[in-house]
Amino acid sequence: MRSINDCFLILFVSILVFGMVRICEAGGLRKNFYKQTSCPKAEDLVRSLTRVKAEANPALGAKLLRLQFHDCFVRGCDASILLDRVGTDQAEKDARPNLSVSGYQEINDIKAKIEQACPGVVSCADILALAARDAVSFSEMASRSYLGFDPIGHQFKSLKTIRRFMQPGSYEILVACNTVSVPSPTPLWDVLTGRRDGNVSLASEVNGNIPGPFSNFTSLKRLFLNKGLNVNDLVALSGAHTVGFAHCGTFSRRLYNFTGNGYTDPSLDATYIESLKAQCPNPADPQTTVEMDPQSSGSFDSSYFNILVQNKGLFQSDAALLTDKSSGKTVQQLRKPRAFLDEFGKSMKKMAAIGVITGNAGEIRKQCGKINSQV
């Protein structure tokens, strides 16, 4: 009987043999970039490996979305956030706004598998963009228990997998031989590929480029405009707060000392305040987290915008979207599920193109945490 490792090897060799062509020197991003390279099945492989990770960790989608966002807003979408510090020089991941960011190990693991199949072809920047999308897509399917259809009505594509039970109620999906067919979600948004990896990562460049939970609308709008994103993008991308959790310290000031005199934030729903206080006593426990979208933090949907108009946005930056006429109008429009998914996908496509490196610039890292000269 073939082992799982043998089956992986067979898959990797088949990828190498099929469609061997020279890597195209892309002047920009495009759909299915890797189909014209020596790794034509790259996106399928990333999707399969991400599915294993998402099955083991339902919160992975939210983590990778945040990781991608924090990467793209500093130096562009070049995977610079994945680089480790060198000596005493702090990297982006060491900056305070990134200390609670996670998902690094999952991307490193996926990259290692990809390198076994297609060494030196697929960038860490593309893996991050693809894995973030795929983790959210798979988690959404799992949370809603769809049988044959994804959240926006498309039929699932067939994916050959097997289930290896590890403990009651959980299983690991592996790409292997002698497999059976199980549902695979249609991606929730398109990801263009062809990025290359950057060689620089500086903690000093993070502050001022990452919007914080205390930001007002003016600062949010200015920061997004500086990245080539408009108010519609700001509102749509804020919808990512429909999944995941937040530490109490990121919003406790709204509960206990909003004005500096011990008052609560008057723009926050009073009942919601009491609920949050019960979960986050003062002073805040740095380890305690709460849902960013109450009762819906596991589903990627438009629920965030419904709670927002109920004055239950967790962060000041959420509530800030209601303080501007234009953004407030967009909030109302995105309460419709299909409208949110459509607009989020468009804005993600724009965000994922910020400052990308293509063609012969940068490099394709062998390891996501190190530039090639350090490997």
Contacts of 302 (CB under 8 A, 6+ apart): 239, 242, 334, 335, 336, 337, 339, 340, 341
Calculate what percentage of the chain has a pLDDT beyond 90.
75
Residue 36 has pLDDT above 80, yes or no: yes
Residue 172 has pLDDT above 90, yes or no: no
pLDDT at res. 6:
52
Residue 109 has pLDDT above 60, yes or no: yes
pLDDT at res. 136:
95
Rounded CA-CA distance 313/142 in Å is 25
3-state secondary structure of 64: helix
pLDDT at res. 155:
31
pLDDT at res. 295:
77
Per-residue pLDDT of 340-352, as tens digits, reads 999 999 999 999 9
Residue 239 has pLDDT above 90, yes or no: yes
Active site residue 70: yes
340-346 contacts at long range (C-beta below 8 A, 24 or more positions apart) = 340/236, 340/239, 340/301, 340/302, 340/305, 341/151, 341/152, 341/188, 341/189, 341/302, 343/232, 343/236, 344/188, 344/189, 344/236, 344/237, 344/239, 344/240, 345/188, 345/189, 345/190, 346/236
Q: How confident is the model at residue 296 (pLDDT cuts 50, 70, 90)?
A: confident
Query: E strands along the chain, which residues?
Result: 157-167, 170-174, 180-184, 245-247, 289-291
Per-residue pLDDT of 326-372, as tens digits, reads 999 999 999 999 999 999 999 999 999 999 999 999 999 999 999 99
Instruction: Select which of 70, 154, 241, 247 is catalytic.
Output: 70
pLDDT at res. 142:
57
Q: How confident is the model at residue 141 (pLDDT cuts 50, 70, 90)?
A: low
